[in-house]
Each structure stands twice: as structure tokens, then as C-alpha cells.
Structure 1
């Protein structure tokens, strides 16, 4: 079972441990967050919660049934009925379906709770796992782009008038 919960102050310690544990794993497919992310984590976590409270973003954690943190999934840059989807699943859970299940659940939440029927996403072309998650959850490719010096692809999912994906 995959549980998607809104980020709270109480997630800070587990989230920092998760990010530390998976730092090298994530750095293989996305740019590293840098040492400042870890040393300033508590202050940044409080800033993110304030931005979430203001409605600028919607941050979530992905957990299994026993409460183990598997990853995070977010809707950032909320504006004009849309947001950018982003997610990171830790190495121990990667390839076992939690990203797909979390994206499906967050699509439902985006429409029903946040009023966001249009989602955007992007990934590097060499990130086959992320591209597969986006394809399985109905995202459509819209353009090739560069993320820094790495080629990528942008996607969109328009949930208006469509059947919401099964969570």
C-alpha cells in the first residue's frame, strides 16, 4: 500500500534522513541538492511549509503502510489552475510501483482538493523510470528541452473532462 500525505512539520526528521540516505542514488539521475540543502534543512523545511500554507505549492510524502518514508511528491508553481509535478522515490522502493501509485493518487487530489486539472512535468531523457511513470499515468510528451546540459522532455496531463486515474 502506498500512502500520500500532505507534508507537515512532523515529517522533517524522517525527510532529512531519507534525503541523506538517498543522496548518491538521486545524484545519478538529477542534479545534487548540494551541502547547503542538508545544513540548512530545518529552515528550508519551515519556508516550504509557509509557501504551502500560502497556496504556492503542495508538498507530500510517500509512505508505505508501516509509515516508512518511500519518497516525496509535489505540485509546485501553482498558478492558473495548473502546477508542476515532481517526485523522488528512494532507492529501496524504486521500480516497485510506489511512484506510479503516488502520481495517480496525487492526480485525484490535484483536481478534487486543490482545483488543479492541468499538471506539467519534466524529466531527463536518460531517466527511463521517470519517463515510464509519466507514460503509465497518462502524461503526454509536449516538447524536448535541455535541463542544464542534459536533454529532457516536458509533459502535460489535462484532467478536465477525463476519467481520473485509479489510485
Structure 2
């Protein structure tokens, strides 16, 4: 079973490979990161680690038995007890329940390690897989949003009473 790990400097090569290998797959359902993201990956990775050290974000990678990154599950824009959840799973690992299991783990960390009481998320309307993950993990729709110009739906997960069965 892949392991959820907090992002660290040594993840950079595997994380870059993950993003490069899955770029077209991800771009089919979320806005593309653009060439600049890849050209300046090392500086961006260092910047993410600095944000994490400052408590502004909590980044996680899902690491397979061979050390390859199979997914990312992040909590960004941490403020006032809330954060924005974002995740992506490699094409070769999709459909195996890894996103659901990882989001559940991050919800638990949000409560027990990071002291958060509310998580927000959003997905495009055509991303049924992501919508299903959010529903299975206790997120409820909050209204329509735009994501990179595409129609989407916003979601929220109240953690103020700890975790219920949806996040376990």
C-alpha cells in the first residue's frame, strides 16, 4: 500500500517525474500548470517547503513501494482554522481508491496535527471522479465556481466536531 508522506526536499525528483508523466492526464480535468512550472521546478519546490515550514500550507505526497510519487494531497491557504484541499493521483494509479483513502488521511491530519476546523475544495463539473471522492469523504457542495475558466463546484468539510464516519 502506498504511504502518505509530508513533502520534504528529497521528494523533488520523484515529484517532478510524477508531474511530467501525468501532465496531459491532469490537463484533461484541471488547468495545466504551464511550461514555467516545469522550467523552474526546483525553485518552486523550495518555495513550497518554505511555505510549509511557515505553516501556510501542508503538502503531502503518496509514495509507492518503489519510491515513485503516485499522488499529491495538499492543504493550502491555511488561515483561521481552515484550508483549501487539492489532490491529484497518477493516471496509472487512478480508480484504485487511493484518492479517497488519501483524502481521508489528510482530513484526519487536518484535525489531529494541524488544528483545522474547515476544509474547502473545488472541482470542475466534468470531473465525476473527484466529485465522488469529495462526497465519500464528507464534503458537501457549497455552490458553483469557476476553475481556470471552466465551470466547477465548490465543496466544504466541517471538521469542528472532529471526524465522523465519512472521514474515517
1:25 equivalent in structure 2: 25
State the secondary structure of the residue aligned to 2:116.
coil
Deviation at 1:162, TM superposition (A): 4.6
Q: TM-score, normalised by structure 1?
A: 0.95
2:89 equivalent in structure 1: 89
* 1:75 and 1:83 in contact (8 A); partners too: yes
Distance in 2, matches of 1:11 and 1:162, equals 30
Deviation at 1:147, TM superposition (A): 1.8
For structure 2, the residue ranges without an aligned partner over 5 or more in a row are: none
Deviation at 1:159, TM superposition (A): 1.5
Distance in 2, matches of 1:62 and 1:11, equals 10
Distance in 2, matches of 1:73 and 1:148, equals 19
Distance in 1, matches of 2:16 and 2:102, equals 20
* 2:31 and 2:148 in contact (8 A); partners too: no
Deviation at 1:67, TM superposition (A): 3.2
Deviation at 1:65, TM superposition (A): 4.0
Residue 52 in 1 paired to residue 46 in 2? no
RMSD: 1.1
Residue 98 in 1 paired to residue 75 in 2? no
* 2:111 and 2:162 in contact (8 A); partners too: no
* 1:124 and 1:150 in contact (8 A); partners too: yes
State the secondary structure of the residue aligned to 1:92.
helix
Q: TM-score, normalised by structure 2?
A: 0.95
State the secondary structure of the residue aligned to 1:121.
strand
Larger mean Cα displacement after TM superposition, 67-76 or 17-26:
67-76
Distance in 2, matches of 1:2 and 1:110, equals 20
For structure 1, the residue ranges without an aligned partner over 5 or more in a row are: none
Deviation at 1:122, TM superposition (A): 0.4
Distance in 1, matches of 2:22 and 2:91, equals 7
2:148 equivalent in structure 1: 148
